[in-house]
């Protein structure tokens, strides 16, 4: 079983409006509602790839119930979310029909009480005993200590479970110091962590700070991987048009899938690129187009990096 | 008991953001969640004024549960909402901290099935037997016939229960033809109904179309009342600054309160103006400031209109 942790789960709403104008009133013509938060998205993609996956983190209130109801129908996915008194946050993506652009509104998330955090830590340790890998994903809700990921990484490492960390800012900085197996920052997150805007230099710097492997996601330019076994650059065959929401989560899912099935790095990167691109190509955010995925597997270029 | 009908109830969310910019990502710093929809707001104000009130209409899904949970703590208010399979809509008011302006996003509401509509009609008739007045408020959700209010007005009139109608567009036009006791259109709704932008002429025209009494709400200029007993103009002592959300619903509550306690028209209008202004002055949308309300009662000017 692969375990994904989403401390700040979300009910993701997508609203379609004619044209978003500040200070006006808008009729929403279409509402799409789905469980969200990075680790939840990663879990859904892993399940679609045929893995057994368990999703943990927090869920509460009516929005938390909606998240859990949405997950209940996903075959291969086990809901191990810890109930909390506060309500799971909503995120709202307002899609402008006119321009196709998206405006994002993100609620901060519920306040997590110390007792709820303690309950989660027990649950997490218990779940790790059956896990072949764990992914720690996304932002921290209020009340969770900023060094939370560092502690979760140490627990996983002490139990011999490989850890992937996908977050940003101070939680990433503190997490890296606890020596996670893989981090997957984008160019901005990597620059914030290391102070360097040069991807090669920045990935090396991130490794010196504690990450065993750094997979830098360079958007449409693909991935740059710096691992104990070598360095690779993986690039898609061409620019992919569509909705990039969830593309990073799909890359994380592919990296975890490759980790537990012991694929060599170039193949893991190929899968990550193809699955990301297939997610951009899918009409609904966070889904992936299987034909695009399979078609791209033979067309991703992977070269050793200097 | 006063009955209020809200066929398209809502979970009203108020989001505070630094400054709303289309196509950017925003952290919401504060989320306020409360039961909404015009008739629900009217019911809450009536309960605060000391009336026994029953709220009916439709509620469904997690959002419907949140609406019902929010109503459960309101003393004097009975929840008689009819459960439906679809989810109650959300409305989102995004308040820009920088400018103080509000951007509104309104979901359309759930599809109401014919069997659900039939269940509501039975419930409505049953509730009318204990009602001293009924208010029919707001928009119609998908699936409810556009002539719905006309039917509800006829049922109430056949049972001798006075009816106030507060809606707009085609549902207002059809409703007026069924001869409601009171309608409370704003200037735009009145112009749309009658084709006239002159308030005096338009209120007379609306009466000829079937409304016994027309209370035209002229925003900061107060109310113009055309009743079988005479015509009055009621104006607040000065411009009131604040959040106008819910001010119209408070005026409806005051008109219903005056109706069931048999106040003369000038006093009903005074209450309506004072309660509206006290709602604009309250910090949270849809609440009212009791000191402002009581202070204004002596300062509203009511004159007979030509």
Q: Do A108 and B66 touch (CB under 8 A)?
A: no
Q: How far apart are CA B49 and CA A251, in angstroms?
A: 58
Q: Do B103 and A65 touch (CB under 8 A)?
A: no
Q: Do B23 and A65 touch (CB under 8 A)?
A: no
State pLDDT tens for residues B32-60.
Answer: 999 999 999 999 999 999 999 999 999 99
Can you read off the two tokens belonging to residue B79?
A: 């929840």
B94 at the A interface (CB within 8 A)? yes
A15 at the B interface (CB within 8 A)? yes
- What's the gap in Å between the CA of A81 and the closest CA on chain B? 18
User: Mean pLDDT throughout B290-302?
Assistant: 90
Q: Do B17 and A105 touch (CB under 8 A)?
A: yes
Nearest CA in chain B to A62: B62
Lowest mean pLDDT among A23-27, A255-259, B112-116: A23-27
- What's the gap in Å between the CA of A269 and the closest CA on chain B? 29
pLDDT of residue B288: 87
Confidence band of A100 (pLDDT split at 50, 70, 90): confident
Residues facing residue A227 across a β-bridge: A230
Confidence band of B284 (pLDDT split at 50, 70, 90): low
CA distances from B147 to A89, A276, B92, B176, B178 (A): 38, 50, 28, 10, 10
Residues facing residue A165 across a β-bridge: A136, A183
pLDDT of residue A286: 62
Of A102, A59, A96, A65, which Cα lies nearest the Cα of A285? A102
Chain A window 151-180: which residues touch B at a Cβ cutoff of 8 Å?
none
A85 versus A244: the higher-pLDDT residue is A85
Residue B74, burial from CB neighbour count under 10 angstroms (0-12, 13-18, 19+): middle
Q: Is B79 among the catalytic positions?
A: no
Which chain B residues touch A31 with a CB distance below 8 Å?
Answer: 107-108
B100 at the A interface (CB within 8 A)? no
A24 versus B164: the higher-pLDDT residue is B164
User: Mean pLDDT throughout B235-252?
Assistant: 85
Burial letters B251-263, b for 16+ CB under 10 A, else e = bbbbbbbbbeeeb
Domains by residue range for chain A, with CATH: 1-17+30-144 (3.40.1190.20)
ipTM: 0.83
State pLDDT tens for residues B164-207.
Answer: 999 999 999 999 999 999 999 999 999 999 999 999 999 999 99
Of A10, A32, A24, which Cα lies nearest the Cα of A95? A32
Q: How far apart are CA A172 and CA A165, in angstroms?
A: 8
Those residues whose C-beta lies under 8 Å from the C-beta of residue B53, and which sit 6 or more positions away, are B1, B2, B3, B4, B43, B46, B47, B76, B77, B78
CA distances from A202 to A183, A190, A199, A207, B181 (A): 13, 6, 5, 9, 74
Q: Do B23 and A101 touch (CB under 8 A)?
A: yes
Q: A106 φ, ψ to 5°?
A: -115, 120
Other Cβ atoms closer than 10 A to A174: 18
pLDDT of residue A263: 93
- Over 90: is that where the pLDDT of B8 sits? yes
pLDDT of residue B53: 98
State pLDDT tens for residues A220-252.
Answer: 889 999 999 999 999 998 887 777 778 899 999
Q: Do B103 and A26 touch (CB under 8 A)?
A: yes
CA distances from A249 to A184, A264, A287, B66, B103 (A): 10, 20, 10, 31, 31
Confidence band of B157 (pLDDT split at 50, 70, 90): very high
Can you read off the two tokens belonging to residue A234?
A: 């993986």
Average pLDDT, chain B: 93
Of B165, B103, B95, which Cα lies nearest the Cα of B133? B165
User: Mean pLDDT throughout B96-104?
Assistant: 86
Q: Considering only the beta carbons, identify the residue of B24, B61, B96 that sits closest to A103.
A: B24
Catalytically annotated residue among B79, B181, B249, B289 = B249
């Amino acid at each position: 079983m692969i375990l994904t942790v989403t401390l700040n789960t979300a009910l993701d709403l997508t609203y379609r409006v004619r044209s978003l104008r500040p200070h006006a009133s808008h009729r929403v013509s279409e509402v799409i509602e789905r469980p969200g938060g990075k680790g939840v998205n990663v879990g859904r993609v892993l399940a679609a790839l045929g893995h057994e996956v368990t999703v943990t983190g927090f869920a509460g209130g009516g929005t938390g119930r909606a998240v859990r109801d949405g997950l209940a129908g996903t075959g291969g996915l086990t809901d191990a979310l810890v109930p909390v008194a506060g309500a799971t946050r909503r995120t709202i993506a307002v899609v402008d029909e006119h321009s196709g652009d998206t405006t994002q509104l993100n609620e901060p998330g519920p306040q997590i009480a110390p007792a709820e955090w303690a309950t989660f830590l027990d649950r997490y340790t218990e779940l790790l005993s059956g896990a072949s890998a764990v992914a720690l994903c996304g932002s921290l809700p209020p009340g969770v200590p900023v060094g939370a990921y560092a502690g979760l990484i140490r627990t996983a490492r002490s139990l011999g479970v490989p850890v992937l960390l996908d977050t940003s800012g101070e939680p990433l900085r503190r997490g890296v110091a606890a020596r996670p197996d893989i981090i997957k920052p984008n160019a901005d997150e990597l620059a914030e962590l290391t102070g360097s805007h040069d991807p090669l230099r920045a990935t090396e710097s991130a490794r010196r700070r504690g990450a065993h492997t750094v997979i830098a996601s360079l958007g449409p330019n693909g991935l740059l991987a710096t691992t104990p076994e070598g360095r690779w650059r993986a690039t898609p065959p061409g620019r992919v048009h569509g909705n990039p929401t969830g593309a990073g989560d799909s890359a994380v899912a592919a990296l975890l899938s490759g980790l537990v099935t012991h694929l060599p790095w170039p193949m893991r990167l190929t899968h990550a690129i193809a699955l990301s691109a297939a997610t951009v190509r899918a009409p609904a955010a966070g889904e992936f187009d299987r034909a695009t995925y399979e078609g791209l597997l033979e067309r991703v270029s992977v070269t050793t990096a200097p």
